[in-house]
Amino acid sequence: MILDDGRRYELIDGMLHVSPVPGLRHQTAVMRLIVLLDAACPDTLLALPGPLAVRPSESSEVQPDFLVAHLEDFTEEALPVAPLLAVEVLSPETELYDRTLKKVFYERIGVRSYWMVDPEVPSLTVLELDAEGWYEQVAEVKRVDSFDATLPFPV
């Protein structure tokens, strides 16, 4: 169990990573994702904002800013398997971590689609697993551009 003191604590392969409490711009981006994705989410899936523990092993627990997974995969405390979609909202304090360590971690555990939202630009980077299990960038959406997602569901 990780501490609950307002900061975000995550474990990747036993290494502890601490992040500050998200700010207004971050939370606004998460709220907009909730509105957009929850409306299109099929009944067999659940779209949730963080913090919610994704705990695929005893040595790893992360808390995506937003995730989508099969409803039956959740326990009351955590998601013990890879979500279908993990979203991280970038901030100056977390951008390097989200673009490197978390990206590699999500790829390794099999998160099919990984979105990185940069509210500063604003932009959306969409990565999806290819046939070999590596992330491939399928979209880079900036400012007023649009993007039609197919994973984890059409939106």
CATH of the domain at 89: 3.90.1570.10
154 inside domain: no
Q: What is the pLDDT of residues 72-111, one digit of tens each?
A: 999 999 999 999 999 999 999 999 999 999 999 999 999 9
Residue range 8-16: mean pLDDT, rounded: 92
Amino acid at 53: A
Q: Residues 61-100, buried b or exposed e (16+ Cβ, 10 A)?
A: bbbbbbbbbeeeebeeeebebbbbbbbbbbbeebeebbee
- pLDDT band per the 50, 70, 90 thresholds, residue 3: low
149 inside domain: no
39 inside domain: yes
150 inside domain: no
- pLDDT band per the 50, 70, 90 thresholds, residue 58: very high
Alpha-carbon distance 1 to 47, whole Å?
23
95 inside domain: yes
Q: Provide the pLDDT for residue 5.
A: 74
Q: Provide the pLDDT for residue 21.
A: 85
32 inside domain: yes
Q: Write out the residue range of the structural domain in which residue 135 sits.
A: 8-142
Residue 24 DSSP one-character state:
H
Which pTM was predicted?
0.93
37 inside domain: yes
pLDDT at 26 over 60: yes
Overall number of domains in the chain: 1
Structure tokens given for 35: 């509105």
Q: What is the pLDDT of residues 106-137, one digit of tens each?
A: 999 999 999 999 999 999 999 999 999 999 99
